[in-house]
């Protein structure tokens, strides 16, 4: 059974207070904590303010900025980490020239400037050398998100990030959805969305489309269901 997500906060009060303490003066008075969510009052942040805030955030807080919305990436649980490790091994075995980089910050342009930290970014080895915290996504072949059991998963992973990654021209977006025990393979980005989005149940064997071209036997994912 999927854990309840109704009341799970984005972050703790203690983490919020520490974030405010560290925040630049231009941002500090704009932050508030309502109903367990980090919010911005007095209008949205601009991307420069976001980058300054993300740079000083506590290690326990990972911030993202999608479609002008400030968000907190949930702390992963054990099964979440095992799924990423399983996928990393598949990628290394089949495409040794590629790396699956966990939580590599990416610049996501489009309707509004954005900054995302996918659970994994598949790119040729060396793609991010010399880049800062927020890298150009031009060399990224695929991004991966594994859903977390929090109340913002639907908006964040199934909608906002999907469109953000498509606008950035990332060829493939792999969504491992732990609410439904499925994988959705978004491909063929066009005009701010993906034109292909087949969904597979855990246990299926599937081949990720070009330029990824990795075959996944997903039977192992059944070990990581709640």
pLDDT tens per residue across all 226 residues of the chain? 444 444 466 688 999 999 999 999 989 999 999 888 899 987 778 899 999 999 999 999 999 998 888 989 888 899 999 999 999 999 999 999 999 999 999 999 755 679 999 999 999 999 999 998 999 999 999 999 999 887 777 778 888 899 999 999 999 999 999 999 999 999 999 998 999 999 999 999 999 999 999 999 999 999 998 7
pTM over 0.85: yes
pLDDT attached to residue 143: 98
> What does the pLDDT read at residue 75?
83
Rounded to whole angstroms, the Cα distance separating 60 from 159 reads 25
The pLDDT score that the predictor gives to residue 118 is 96
Cβ within 8 Å of residue 48, ≥6 positions away: none
Measuring CA to CA, how many Å separate 183 from each of 28, 108, 203, 226? 39, 23, 10, 16
User: How would you label 110-128 residue by residue, b for 16+ Cβ within 10 Å and e otherwise?
Assistant: bebebbbbbbbbbbeeebb
Q: Does domain 78-224 have CATH number 3.20.20.110?
A: no
Task: Write down the pLDDT at residue 5.
Answer: 44
Q: Please state the domain extents for the chain.
A: 13-73, 78-224
d(CA 156, CA 108): 14
CA 165 to chain centre: 10
User: In the chain, what's the furthest Cα-to-Cα distance?
Assistant: 51
């Amino acid at each position: 059974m999927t854990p309840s997500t109704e009341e799970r906060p984005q972050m703790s009060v203690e983490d919020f207070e520490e974030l405010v303490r560290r925040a630049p003066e231009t941002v500090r008075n704009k932050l508030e904590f309502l109903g367990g969510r980090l919010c911005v009052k007095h209008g949205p942040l601009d991307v420069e303010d976001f980058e300054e805030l993300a740079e000083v955030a506590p290690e326990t807080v990972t911030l993202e900025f999608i479609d002008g919305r400030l968000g907190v990436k949930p702390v992963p649980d054990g099964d979440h980490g095992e799924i990423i490790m399983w996928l990393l091994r598949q990628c290394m075995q089949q495409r040794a020239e590629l790396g699956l980089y966990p939580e590599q910050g990416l610049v996501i342009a489009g309707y509004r400037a954005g900054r995302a930290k996918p659970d994994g970014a598949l790119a040729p080895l060396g793609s991010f050398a010399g880049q800062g915290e927020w890298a150009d996504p031009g060399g990224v072949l695929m991004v991966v998100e594994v859903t977390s059991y929090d109340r913002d998963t639907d908006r964040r992973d199934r909608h906002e990030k999907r469109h953000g990654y498509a606008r950035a021209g990332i060829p493939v977006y792999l969504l491992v959805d732990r609410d439904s025990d499925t994988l959705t393979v978004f491909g063929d980005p066009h005009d701010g969305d993906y034109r292909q989005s087949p969904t597979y149940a855990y246990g299926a064997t599937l081949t990720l489309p070009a330029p990824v071209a990795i075959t996944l036997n997903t039977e192992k994912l059944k070990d990581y269901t709640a």
